Amino acid sequence: MESNWKDYFTFTRKERIGIYLLLAGIGICSVMPRFCKTAAIDRELTAEAFALQKAHDSSSLHADLAGLSANDHQQIAHNDIHYERVGGAQPVAGLFPFDPNTLDPAGWKRLGVSDRTANTIQRYRAKGGRFKNAADLQKVYGLKEADCKRLMPYVRITAPAITTVADKPVVKFTKTPPPLIDINRADTTAFISLPGIGSKLASRMVHLREKLGGFYAVQQVAETFGLPDSTFQLIKPRLACSPVLLQKINVNTADEQTLKQHPYIRWQIARAIVQYRQQHGLFQSPEDLQRIVLITPELYQKMAAYLAVE
């Protein structure tokens, strides 16, 4: 009988842990209502104290406004500054018409622009930069897009853009055009000064002039051996041809050797001139040379300036 009684009051380790946890839960449940009631009372007291403080601040604000003079009210109305609040924080910006070309850093700060961005604008203006319209605010480094949209309606450009750098007028320099080269008087050094002309081409130009007996047109320079047409077109605006007394050949006395020395008279033409003269007599005028079949109208126009019959 004794051993059976002990069996009812003997528990295993897991059963003892369960009993302890059950007793702890009963204790917490019995104490919790007291703490909840205390917290509710504290919240009511806090709300009441906040309402009293708000009423006291409102009374103080009305008392301060009542103490303002009429001049103070007019000054506030004249400033017409409108503040915006972000999430109930302190005022962050005021909006008013402004000229970005003259506004000082303090004014930018009143507009809600950061000190760094205001300094960037000052440096930009110090280097001669100017705002021509409201859209130029979008070019300011560091100025947010939202700030641009907020400020652009208040931009007032009151003066035209100033074209000065560091308060000094911009001086425009016009490049002096290069001097013209007289193809009848220039030496090799003058020809070499032309773009694309080296010593060989310069020597050939002078040699061609000497064999012709002088130039009567700028276009004759293009006949220089080895001169590309692209190079001639490049130097043509810098060439000039002064009138000179051309060296002429007397076609009634010159022999075949003398005639064929001229660049425009090949040896076949030189022989034909001498033979025609022997068969028909002396030429009465340079135009008589056009009776020779080998001399085309184009060739005669080129060589006529160098021909004589006296």
Residues composing the chain? 310
Q: What pLDDT is recorded for position 89? A: 40
DSSP code per residue over 101-138 = TT--HHHHHHTT--HHHHHHHHHHHHTT----SGGGGG
- For residue 76, what are the CA distances in angstroms to 65, 70, 79? 12, 10, 5
Tens digit of each residue's pLDDT (9 = 90 or more) over 105-117:
888 888 888 888 8
Enumerate the domain spans of the chain. Answer: 2-57, 79-169, 181-240, 249-308
On the question of a common fold for 181-240 and 249-308, the answer reads yes
Q: How confident is the model at residue 87 (pLDDT cuts 50, 70, 90)?
A: very low
Tokens of 30: 């019995």
pLDDT confidence bin for 132, thresholds 50/70/90: confident
The CATH code for residues 249-308 is 1.10.150.280
Instruction: Give the contacts of 228 (CB within 8 A, at least 6 positions apart).
Output: 196
Is residue 226 a contact partner of residue 197, using CB atoms and an 8 Å limit?
Answer: no
How confident is the model over 244-302, as pLDDT tens digits?
A: 999 999 999 999 999 999 999 999 999 999 999 999 999 999 999 999 999 999 999 99
Cβ distance 188 to 173 under 8 Å?
no
Q: What is the pLDDT of residues 135-156, one digit of tens each?
A: 888 888 888 888 888 888 888 8
Higher-scoring residue by pLDDT: 38, 199? 199
Residue 224's contacts (CB-CB under 8 Å, 6 or more residues apart) are 201, 204, 205, 208
Mean pLDDT in the chain?
A: 80
Instruction: Name the fold adopted by 181-240.
Output: DNA polymerase; domain 1 (1.10.150)
Q: Cα–Cα distance between 112 and 91 in angstroms, integer? A: 9
**Section 44-73 average pLDDT:** 51
Tokens in use for 251?
Answer: 């076609």
**CB-CB contact of 273 with 251 (8 Å):** yes
Q: What is the CATH number of domain 79-169?
A: 1.10.150.320
